[in-house]
Structure formats: structure tokens, C-alpha cells
Structure 1
Amino acid sequence: MVHVDAASLRALDRLQLLITRRLDGLLHGDYLGLLPGPGSEPGEAREYRPGDDVRHMDWPVTARTTVPHVRTTVADRELEAWLAVDLSPSLDFGTVNMLKRDLAINAVAAFSYLAGRGGNRVGAVVTEGGPAKAIPPRPGRAGSRSLLRTVTQMPKGTGPGDLAELLDKTRRHTRRRGLAVVISDFIDEAEWERELRRLSVRQQVLCVEILDPAELGLPDVGVLDLIDPETGEHVEVQTGNARFRARYAEAAAAQRGRIAAGIRGAGAAHLRLSTGADWLRDIATFVAERRHLAAYR
């Protein structure tokens, strides 16, 4: 375990204070868990509406009425949430305000705080580029604070991350229905989509995709010497070539499209956070939109 000095602890405290001030106003009102969505307690049946999850179809009522119905659920009053946190070396990259790794830790702070409201228990499974390690769930804001400190004290890994293994280990630790928040850049050659679908069977899943603007398009800055943080491989690229930049942007868009399709195919919610944007505002906007949509479902 890495020692965290007093300055680092003060920085974590300032981060949590910032999150509290920015997000608390959004979350006043009836308790609905972190994100509005299906709970685990069965509720009433109602007619199917376009956009409803077909996994919630109430087939007995549909058969009796000959009209498609879905079974609503009641939001859980006590939530157990798990964060699946990918801090593998591919996140040691950033060209704007911070590294992707820093943004991922900020997301851990925000979502552990959000999920820990009301005395909920929050745990995490974290990979730093090696075998994933579990942090047992603890309740409330004190538990969220302890979790954040533990994540930041974990030694940095040197090998490639294994997102599929991270998702599998998270699923094995979820003993009851609840929430799973996956924080990663999803840049992994392994087939993680299958494990994400398995995790989504019993959990409400939110995938938080961490990215940097340079991963979507290269600026024209001449010759760049790039290093793969997971393999150490060096490569020089000529960014002054417009055709090369166009091919790069096209390949990047295709990669992000595949990631989005994999998340959508698992029935998970999807939030993108960028090192070049106001990440707290993006989180607040996402949660507010989800609550607004749920109010009219």
C-alpha cells in the first residue's frame, strides 16, 4: 500500500467538499437511489410503452388482457452499490486538464458519494493493471471517504488491464440486487461485453467511459513521439498529414461506436466523461436527465 501524505489527504477532502456542494442541490427530494430505475421489489403492472425494457414484461397479465403489460418495480430503500474501477496504465494519459486516471478517481469520489447517501453500502473492485482487488462495502459518507482513500493508496500497476476479469470479479461480489458503476476507458482487446451482460442480469449498471479529446482527433502539431503506457512501445506519427488525421478520427469514431454498442447491448446506462470538460456538470446533467425521464415513464 502506498503512503498518502497530508497534502494528498487534504486534496481528497477538498474534492469531496466540491462534490458535496455541486451535487447536493440536485439530489433533494424523494429518495430514488443513485439513478432512477428498476428496483428489486415488485410493483404494479401497467401497459407497455415504447422504450420499456422487455425484460420486465408481465406475461400473465399480457395473456389475460391480450394487451402487452410490464411489471413496475419499487426503488430499493437500501442500496448496495459496487464500483468496478479500471485504473490500468492506459489511463495514464491526458492532454487537457488532467490525466484520465485523475478523472477516473474523481468519478470514484462522485459516485461513491452519490451511492452512499442514505446509509447505503458502497464497495469497489479495482484493477491497477494486475489482478483485481476488492474493497468490502461500508455504509454512508464515512464509508465512501474510506473507499476513496483506499483506491488512491493502491500501488500503480505496470501490466495491461483486464476489464473482463474486473467485471467478472465485481459480479461475484454482488450478493443482492443493486447498482454497479463501471469506470473505465473501455480500451481493452479482451471480450468484455459478455461479462458486462452477465453483470447486468441482476444489477442496474452504469458505465462511465473515461476519455481524452486527443483520443477522438489529433491536432496538427508536427511529429509526435507516442508511448503505449501498457506495453512501452514507441511510435512516431506525423500529425501534419491531413489524410492521416482523417483516418485517425475515423478509426477513433469506429472504436467509440463499438464501445457504445457493447454497453447498449448489455442494457446498461452510458455516461462519457472527458478530461477536457466539466466532469461534475456532466454527472449532474446525466443524473438530472435520468430523474426527469423516470418521472414521465
Structure 2
Amino acid sequence: MTANPPPSLKSGELSDPRLSAALRTLELTVRRRLDGVLHGDHLGLIPGPGSEPGDARLYQPGDDVRQMDWSVTARTTHPHVRQMVADRELETWMVADLSASLDFGTAACEKRDLVVAAAAAITFLTSGGGNRIGAVVATGADTVRIPARSGRVHAQAMLRKIASTPKAPDGVRGDLRGAIESLRRPQRKRGLAVVISDFLGPIDWQRSLRAVSARHDVLAVEVLDPRDLELPDVEDVVLHDPETGRTREFTVTPKLRADFAEAAQAHRDEVEQMLRTCGAPVMTLRTDRDWITDVVRFVSTRRHTFGAASKAPRQ
């Protein structure tokens, strides 16, 4: 299937009315393609049991013994289990990495466009029923926090803010660790944390993400371009690193291509391992693929494989 790019969302090319129209089109696309995949406001990307303790009741054959309420059992001399009540409202926080390495794309769109598309998909999947969603948008030069609120007006304003975030100046490194760290304070009730990034650069965010995952469910959205994984089969190429400002010219040989592909795969494997230790399933979106199909496939699969995320193959 050919890649189906998101509506053009580049902040420098759209006036506010056109940006609003593009976001509405994006919302319709996500909702129509996910029709029949999700059922109910509180069945989202990472479904699980309730986290709030409820009333105790008499034990019945087949009940999970791990839910035994020993204090009530001792007081009444009859075995009781403690029921768990599902949270009525979900609070979701997204980290949208818009560092300079995301301002790049050689296929149907830029990786920055996919960050906005992924943020929109997460927003439309988790909103409704009073659920709240907020975001931390990080470029390396600036970090903007958008408070978690409910409602369609807030969702649209948040996505507009993400889509219109100015690009980082050339030579400014991203700060994914700092953006993830900002999710820890102030402390919030249990919810969902989503990190959207290409995860290029130093892997210094593991400790922060693990601390977040100790209290919240975590989802990682990996955004990739084909050139992140392999060099083109050309003779001479000029490569520029926007996060360091360095530019170098190379003669692309078969050995250089092989070494680059090997190093890129080794980095992805390390990222995968780090995310697995944090209990974060990974949804991969690529600029050369139909991103909405990947979202639909991920959502429909994870509804049935929660708890086995670390065993699932990478997309």
C-alpha cells in the first residue's frame, strides 16, 4: 500500500484557517478509519483493570486470590475479595519531540508532520467521556507545557499549538530526557503517558521514562524516515546534522552503506531494549508508509495483547 501522508501541517506554510481545516480533516480520517476498532469511551490504546479500590465482597470460586482482602476476612471470619473500580476519567500526557532531527523527510512527508498526526490520533483515541489530555512540546530550544483539560475545543487548540510550534534553530540539540522528566512533576494520578519521538541521539532518557512508567501506563511512538535507516545508493552526498550544525560530504560506497545500516539498526535495537525495560509498547510510524493503517493495526492488536507488549514484534 502506498504511503498516505497526513494533511500538510507545516507551521510556516499554513494560515490559521487552513491549519484548522487540516486538523479537522485529520480528525475525520482517524475517526473513520478506526470505526469498529474501539468500543466505549474507556477502552483506549492500553486497556487494563481498574486501579481504584472498591468494596469488599464474599469470595466466590474462580476469584483471583491476589485480590483477597485479608483484613475483612479476619474481621468477618469469611473470605472476602476487594473489587477494583475502573477509573471513570483518563488523564493522558503526551511528549511531542519536535527537535531539529524531526524537521526532515525524504518520502511522503516530514517526520514533524507524523508527530502532529500521531498526537492527533492519540488525542482522538483517548478523548471523550470527560477524559483529559495535555502535552509537553519540546524543541531543544524551548519546552512548552499545555495543561491537561477535556473537551473538543481544548483538543483542537492543543493540536494547533503543536502543529504551529516554531522549528528549533540550527545547531540546537533536542532534550528528550528533560521533556520526559517534566512529566514527573507535579505528581498526577495514574494515567497514560505517550512519548512521540524519533529517539535518535543519546539514550539518556531511560531512567526518567522508567520513573514515569512506575506510576503510569506508557506508550512510545517511534517516527522514522527511510534515510534514518539506510543511505541512498548515490556516489556523493552532503549530510547535515541539524542538532550539531555540522555538514560533511561523503562518497557513498557499498561498505559505507553497510556500516551505516548496521549502526542504525544497532541504535534501534538499543532503543527497543530500553523501551522494553520501561514496559512501553512501541507504535512505529514511517514517512514512506500509510501511517493511519499502522495506527489502526497497532490499536486493534494491542487491545488483545496487552501484557505481552514486550514479546510483540517491532513493526
C-alpha deviations, 1:158-197, integer Å up to 9, x for none? 2211111000102214511100110011113251000010
Task: Name the aligned partner's letter for residue 155 of structure 2.
Answer: S
Give the Cα separation in 1 of the matches to 2:255 and 2:68. 54
Q: Which of 153, 164, 167 matches 1:142?
A: 153
- Gap regions ≥5 residues in structure 1: 48-56, 62-70
Q: 1:237 to 1:293 in 2, by over 3 A?
A: same
Overall identity of the aligned pairs, in %: 47
Deviation at residue 42 of structure 1 after TM alignment? 4.5
Q: Which residue of 1 aligns with 2:297?
A: 285
1:16 touches 1:109 (CA, 8 Å); kept in 2?
A: yes
Task: Name the aligned partner's letter for residue 262 of structure 1.
Answer: M
Deviation at residue 293 of structure 1 after TM alignment? 2.6
- TM-score under structure 2 normalisation? 0.80
Cα RMSD between the aligned structures? Answer: 2.8
- TM-score under structure 1 normalisation? 0.85
Give the Cα separation in 2 of the matches to 1:255 and 1:33. 30
Give the Cα separation in 2 of the matches to 1:232 and 1:92. 14
Instruction: Tell me the matched-pair count.
Output: 278
Q: Which residue of 2 aligns with 1:193?
A: 206
Between the two structures, name the one with larger relative contact order (CA 8 Å, sep ≥ 6): 2
Give the Cα separation in 1 of the matches to 2:83 and 2:290. 35
Q: Which residue of 1 aligns with 2:128?
A: 117
Which one is further off, 210-219 or 247-256? 210-219
Give the Cα separation in 1 of the matches to 2:105 and 2:83. 43
Task: Name the aligned partner's letter for residue 277 of structure 1.
Answer: R
Give the Cα separation in 1 of the matches to 2:194 and 2:156. 17
Give the Cα separation in 2 of the matches to 1:160 and 1:267. 27
Q: Which residue of 1 aligns with 2:312?
A: none
Deviation at residue 263 of structure 1 after TM alignment? 0.4
Deviation at residue 119 of structure 1 after TM alignment? 2.4
**Which 4+ residue blocks in structure 1 deviate beyond 6 angstroms?**
57-61
Deviation at residue 24 of structure 1 after TM alignment? 3.2
Give the Cα separation in 2 of the matches to 1:97 and 1:74. 45
Q: 1:125 to 1:115 in 2, by over 3 A?
A: same
Matches within 5 A, 1:261-276: 261-276=273-288
Matches within 5 A, 1:90-101: 90-101=101-112
Deviation at residue 29 of structure 1 after TM alignment? 4.5
- Gap regions ≥5 residues in structure 2: 1-10, 57-62, 71-81, 309-315
Deviation at residue 58 of structure 1 after TM alignment? 7.0
Give the Cα separation in 1 of the matches to 2:270 and 2:257. 20
1:162 touches 1:190 (CA, 8 Å); kept in 2?
A: no
Structure with the bigger percentage of helix: 1
Q: Which residue of 2 aligns with 1:25?
A: 36
Deviation at residue 141 of structure 1 after TM alignment? 2.8
